[in-house]
C-alpha cells in the first residue's frame, strides 16, 4: 500500500487516455426496462470510442455477444478493450478507482472503499474494481485510509466530488456528513478535508447542502454542480417554485455566490436548467443535465425529451467551445437512478 503524498487530481476537461465503463447486466436495476439498456450502453461506447480509448469491464462469457452489439452499433472496436470482470452493478464513477498524478506526473489509482452508497447489501464485487483497473494498467494503487480511525478504508464515491484540477473541490453535506446514509461514522468535515488534501491535492472544499429530488445516492454533487473551468461552475436551478428542488437549489446558489477562490476572485456561476420531473411507476427519477461527461472532443449530455434539452446543450456547448455538444437520450437510462457521469470514469493522459 502506498502512503499518501503530493497527489494532483486532474480536471475532467484535461486530455484523456481512456474512459472506463462496465457493461450492464443486473436486470433488477432497470425493472421492466432492461431490454433497451445494453443498446444505450452500446451507443455511449460508440460515441466515446470515436474519440478515445474505451476500457470496458463485462461479465465472464459475454465477450462475443457484447462485441457483436458494439459492432452493430458502429463503435470503433480498435479503440475498445474488453476485460472480463465480475461486478454487482455498472456505476464506474462511484465504484471505480480515481486516477491522480504525483509531482512527477506519474499516475496512481486511489482505492476508496465502495459500499453501495451505504444502502444496498451487494457491493463486494464492485469494491474490487479499483484493483482490477490497476492490474489492467499496471499502475500502483493507493488505499485511502483514515489513520485516526483504526486505519479503516474510507468510503467515497466519485460522484460525490467534483474538482477543478487546481485544488478546489465541490461536494455536499447531505452526502458526506448526513446520518441518513452514513458512509464513514466518526469522520467530520475537518477529517474529510484532510483526506482530500492528502490524496487529491485539494486546498479548498466548497460544501453545498442538498442534492436533487430522486437521487438514490443521497446528495451526489455530479447531479447538482460541476466545474467547467478553473473558476467556473454550472449549477442546476429550478424555476418552478412549487417543485421540491426549488428551495434547496436556490440555497446552493447562494452558497456559491459567497465563495472566494484562491485567486481572490469569485466563482463564475452558470445556471443550468432542470428538466421537468421524469417520473416512472410513480417514482421521481434523478434527471439532471449536470450528469454530462467529457471526451477529448465532445461533451455528452443526457437528454430527457424535454423542451429544456436544447437549452442545456447550448449552455454546455458554450462552456466547452472546443468540443461538440451531443445529446444522449437518457429517459430509459435514468430509471436505473443514474446517467452518463455515473456510469463512467475518465483516465487522464
* Catalytic sites, residue numbers: 342
Q: Are 66 and 32 in contact (CB under 8 A)?
A: no
Take residue 96 and report the three cell numbers written for it: 471505480
Contacts for 1 with CB less than 8 Å, ≥ 6 apart: 142, 143
CB 39 within 8 Å of CB 66 = no
Distance of CA 349 to the CA centre of its chain: 18
Contact 253, 230 (CB under 8 A): no
310: its cell numbers: 436544447
Q: Which residue has the cell 479503516?
A: 152
Amino acid at each position: 500500500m502506498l502512503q499518501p503524498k503530493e497527489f494532483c487530481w486532474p480536471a475532467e476537461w484535461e486530455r484523456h487516455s481512456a474512459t472506463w465503463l462496465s457493461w450492464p447486466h443486473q436486470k433488477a436495476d432497470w425493472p421492466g426496462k432492461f431490454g433497451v439498456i445494453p443498446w444505450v450502453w452500446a451507443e455511449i461506447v460508440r460515441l466515446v470510442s470515436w474519440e478515445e480509448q474505451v476500457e470496458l469491464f463485462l461479465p465472464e462469457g459475454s465477450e462475443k455477444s457484447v462485441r457483436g452489439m458494439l459492432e452493430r452499433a458502429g463503435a470503433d472496436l480498435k479503440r475498445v478493450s474488453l476485460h472480463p470482470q465480475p461486478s454487482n452493478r455498472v456505476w464506474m464513477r462511484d465504484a471505480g478507482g480515481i486516477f491522480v498524478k504525483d509531482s512527477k506526473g506519474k499516475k496512481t489509482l486511489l482505492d476508496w472503499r465502495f459500499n453501495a452508497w451505504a444502502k444496498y447489501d451487494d457491493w463486494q464485487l464492485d469494491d474490487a474494481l479499483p484493483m482490477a483497473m490497476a492490474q489492467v494498467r499496471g499502475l500502483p494503487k493507493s488505499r485511502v485510509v483514515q489513520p485516526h480511525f483504526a486505519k479503516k478504508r474510507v468510503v467515497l464515491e466519485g460522484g460525490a466530488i467534483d474538482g477543478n484540477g487546481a485544488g478546489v473541490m465541490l461536494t455536499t453535506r447531505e452526502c458526506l456528513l448526513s446520518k441518513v446514509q452514513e458512509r464513514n461514522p466518526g469522520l467530520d468535515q475537518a477529517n474529510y478535508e484532510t483526506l482530500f488534501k492528502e490524496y487529491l491535492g485539494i486546498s479548498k472544499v466548497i460544501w453545498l447542502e442538498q442534492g436533487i429530488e430522486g437521487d438514490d445516492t443521497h446528495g451526489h454533487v455530479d447531479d447538482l454542480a460541476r466545474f467547467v473551468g478553473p473558476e467556473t461552475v454550472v449549477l442546476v436551478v429550478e424555476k418552478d417554485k412549487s417543485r421540491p428542488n426549488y428551495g434547496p437549489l436556490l440555497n446552493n446558489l447562494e452558497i456559491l455566490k459567497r465563495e472566494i477562490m484562491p485567486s481572490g476572485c469569485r466563482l463564475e456561476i452558470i445556471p443550468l436548467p432542470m428538466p421537468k420531473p421524469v417520473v416512472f411507476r410513480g417514482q421521481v427519477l434523478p434527471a439532471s443535465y449536470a450528469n454530462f461527461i467529457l471526451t477529448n472532443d465532445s461533451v455528452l449530455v443526457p437528454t430527457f425529451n424535454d423542451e429544456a434539452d436544447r437549452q442545456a446543450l447550448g449552455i454546455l456547448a458554450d462552456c466547452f467551445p472546443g468540443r461538440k455538444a451531443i445529446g444522449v437520450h437518457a429517459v430509459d437510462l435514468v430509471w436505473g437512478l443514474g446517467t452518463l457521469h455515473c456510469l463512467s470514469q475518465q483516465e487522464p493522459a
